[in-house]
Chain A
Amino acid sequence: MLYFTDIILIALGAALVNNFVLYYFVGICPFIGVSRRIDMAIGMGFAVTFVISIAALLSWTITTFILMPGAPLSKFVAGWFMPPDAAAKVDLTILSYVVYIFAIASSVQFVEMYVRRFYPSLYRSFGVFLPLITTNCAILFACLIIFSHIVGVDNPADVWDLGKSLTLAVFGGVGFTIAITIMAGIREELELCDVPQSLRGAGITLLVAGILAMAFMGFTGVDSGLKKAMTPSPVQAQQSSRE
């Protein structure tokens, strides 16, 4: 039950409350670049969601089994060369950034090949933005959040498993899709508006993004409220144990 609550809170937090784009302001370049038309925006959202999921899967696996101090694989290999207590301390976390970029780049390349083969029109409309997902900070950001919940966590029970990590990644991607689709809808209307010359293009887009971010501030506190509602209070817990 508690695990289920955590999953819901992580999902809600990633998608709405702490939206990657509108709360943390990561992944702005595709958010501005590909939000001209709704269908392209949705395509971009799905591509990012897909890449973010694969990258999260890879980075969780690598972090848990190789990178973190005392990870099973590195401990096992190091055990051949050094005493077991020293082997348990082998720490490869310095590799995190380079490994994550590696994993992201590979999965983007994979997605690019896939989209090119099966959705040529989507591939054309993405243009340069598909390879640019490689350097999309939203994806690296998701990987680093997962990293921070695996390495350096005091209580072993709080360490994220694959389910929680994937939830964060998928719903982070969903949040990105929501944000970019809303943005594309606004920008399609904006095409018909009489924008002052000096603000046309990126200027008005960034203003709209800022106002949109303020609108998303309305979600603040939803997660903590929900957490309070879903965790049984100590009094209730005592009562249920007495019965």
Chain B
Amino acid sequence: MIWVTVSLAAATMVGMAVTMSYILGWANRAFHVDVDSRVEAVIDALPGANCGGCGYVGCSDYAEAVVAGKAPVSKCTVGGDSCAAALAGIMGVEVAQSWPYRPIVHCGAHYDDRLDRAEYHGEKKCSAANLVAGVQGCTYGCLGFGDCERACEFDAIHVIDGLATVDYEKCVGCGACAKACPRNIITMIPFKYERMLAVTCSNKDIGDEVKVVCKVGCIGCRACSRFCSLFHMEENLPAIDYDKYCGDFMEELSKAVQKCPRKGLVLMGKPSPRDQEAVSDKTLPRVIEADFKTTVDDTEWWG
């Protein structure tokens, strides 16, 4: 009588299937959630990295905000222009023009320019050295221990002769260096052009005090703000209004650059053809491979 057992087993499974699917079907209707089909479309169009660069918890959160009209379509830095265009297509809106954000180091002093430096034997990190008074005369400028270099995942910022220098060809604008800097001298600005003018000093002290600690620091002479309306003085430092920054001001800006007595206004960004020409006869230094027997492991562990 094996067939009775077999058919009973089959009947049990079929009965359960019918019952469960009835219950679940009822629940599906009772607990129905209206999901905007556009939300799913937007989630599909986003990179799905869940990096939080847009300021929302993840891609799905941002997608909901976009569909709800609370967020602009161009917030995704990872997806860039193509992603913004795709989102705009789904939402049926125009993409407002957006610019990539890139970091600018507001310090222009190399080792030789900094005065009053003391020997520092502590941990070779900016965050540690920043806690100690008197490592260098300038309490605002770059310390040169390379916290930003370690923070960068893209090998795009390097300490060159004691000064953090951004490699704009590699930089993707993630902002990790700006977060890592304990002195907050790295800021993210919209790069409306390949090269942007920047104030390379963060010292807020008055001119005489700056001259004591730095050969190139801003002395707060206000020459730039007199020649160009884009500058305004904040605590003895000129600040550039990047919202208004555009080609119309080029003449004023170049005048301000010429008048700066400390040469503290510098164009930053990708190298121009002229720069590349100037160094074309120089050969790259031989790359020295690290010897792992002698180099120190940078594992952060202090027992």
Contact = CB atoms under 8 A, between A and B. Distances in A.
B302 interface: yes
A110 interface: yes
B128 interface: no
Q: How big is chain A's contact interface, by range?
A: 20 to 34
B208 interface: no
Residue from the set B17, B28, B31, B300 with the largest chain A CB neighbour count within 10 Å: B31
A168 to B, nearest CB: 22
Contacts of B9: 92, 94-95
B60 interface: yes
Contacts of B28: 113
Interface stretch (B19-27, B116-124, B254-262, B264-272): B19-27
Interface stretch (A30-38, A42-50, A74-82, A152-160): A74-82
A114 B29 CA distance: 11
A113 to B, nearest CB: 4
Contacts of A78: 4-5, 8
A86 interface: yes
A56 to B, nearest CB: 16
B23 A117 contact: no
A110 B4 contact: no
B27 A110 contact: yes
A118 B300 CA distance: 44
Residue from the set B11, B12, B27, B31 with the largest chain A CB neighbour count within 10 Å: B12
Nearest to A110: B27
Contact of B23 (A82, A86, A106, A194): A106
Given A92-B9, A102-B20, A110-B23, 17 more contacts: A62-B12, A74-B12, A90-B4, A94-B9, A95-B9, A98-B13, A99-B12, A109-B24, A113-B31, A114-B31, A116-B31, A116-B33, A117-B31, A120-B33, A194-B301, A196-B301, A197-B301
Which 3 residue pairs spanning A and B have beta carbons closest together?
A: A117-B31, A106-B20, A113-B31
